[in-house]
Amino acid sequence: MAKATIFCVGDFRGLKAPAPSALDKLEAGAFPKQDMAEYKYATLAVHAGQHPDPLTGAVNVPLYLSSTFELTGIGTDRGWDYSRAGNPTRDRLETALAALEGGTSGHAFASGMAAIHALVAMLKAGDHVVCSKDVYAGTVRLFDQIVSGYGIEIEYVDTSDLTAVERAMRPTTKLVHIETPSNPLMILTDIAGVAKIAHAHGAEVSVDNTFLSPALQSPLALGADIVMHSTTKYLNGHSDGIGGALIGSKPEHKERFLLVQKAAGNFLSAFECYLVLRGIKTMPLRIKQHEENGRAVAEFLAGHRKAAKVAYPGLKTHPQYELAARQQKGFGSMMSFELKSREEAARFLGALKIFLNAESLGGVESLASHSATTTHASVSAETRAAMGITEGRIRLSVGIEDKDDLIADLEQALGKV
């Protein structure tokens, strides 16, 4: 039997050292920065934070599956020391997020709800938060069952009514959190109008931009201070990863959210960051198809006798169509409508062939869900009724399939109702 020969080398780095210029870039503390301000959105999506790797020239962002990093000395490093505090793959995603939303810093979290928790983590007992009353029920659950226990007061307001927002403001109000369009009734909030009111009272404004993505709405440009995303949705776009993000507009936001990531360990894994970076590259193309299909599906539903109260801001019958046209860069592919009862909703969902009866949104596949038992199952029937969410409300996330096939699927399913 032949004997194996084992070679032992004292310093493996000496086998193939990177070019000095590349190593210098790493030891400077981060990947080389890019000035992307001059480029348009589709170019940003492909290139922001996604420049070739300085060590290898790899075009795709490397996946750094390392929990720890070798230090260069006592108290010195190449920009990273422990992945809870920072990871090269996560840095790339956070750079891309900041560029896409026009912010000063981006921060990736373990989920959309983790991002909202980080948003309020720096508030203290006695602070007051104004929140849109028609929001994802997971936000309500977090605020009512966890955040309120910290002594932070949450007040739910119809933020589509600026007078109501003004009335809700107090000396202790620190944050106004809005979701526009809302989930699932697609009610809009005037971001610029709310920002003007909040800033006059010394409060900040955060906007959940998940339903439209950075491709179709730019809250910071409209006066908001912080943008929140569930990266699970349109940013990733393939229903294969969960994550969240906050994009800040001020230096203190960067300090605040970095502290939450590091102190609470509330950050997105390198692999999930890699998936979102991959998804962002194709987001402009996906969003175009999503919206084309969304408009076609909404028009079909609006003309169907069995689909009542179709909620889609791109329909001219929507009471806030003018605001949507002014505030948004498109109308998106999220919508909802009503059937007469829970039983009709069950028959409709059971008859679908292309649309999948599933929660979530923003993936390439079309989804249909019963709001009362999915997105808003965690709140009481009384709360749902106050929000205007009936037992027959169906929410659609229109994917990128052929729109004629999607409409045919909806038509045959409605025929079974």
Q: Are 82 and 67 in contact (CB under 8 A)?
A: yes
337 three-state secondary structure = strand
Which residue is listed with tokens 């979701």? 179
Sign of the CA dihedral with 317 first, then 318, 324, and 329 last: negative
Q: What are phi and psi of 280, to 5 degrees?
A: -60, -35
CB burial of residue 16 (10 Å; 0-12, 13-18, 19+): exposed
On whether the CB atoms of residues 70 and 39 are closer than 8 A, the answer is no
| Residue 4 burial class via C-beta count within 10 angstroms: exposed 0-12, middle 13-18, buried 19 and up | exposed
Kindly list the strands in the beta sheet with 393-397, ordered across the sheet, starting from the edge strand earlier in the chain.
308-311, 334-338, 393-397, 367-370, 356-357
On the CB side of 111, CA atoms within 13 Å amount to 7
Residues annotated as catalytic (active site), given as ranges: 84, 136, 208, 233
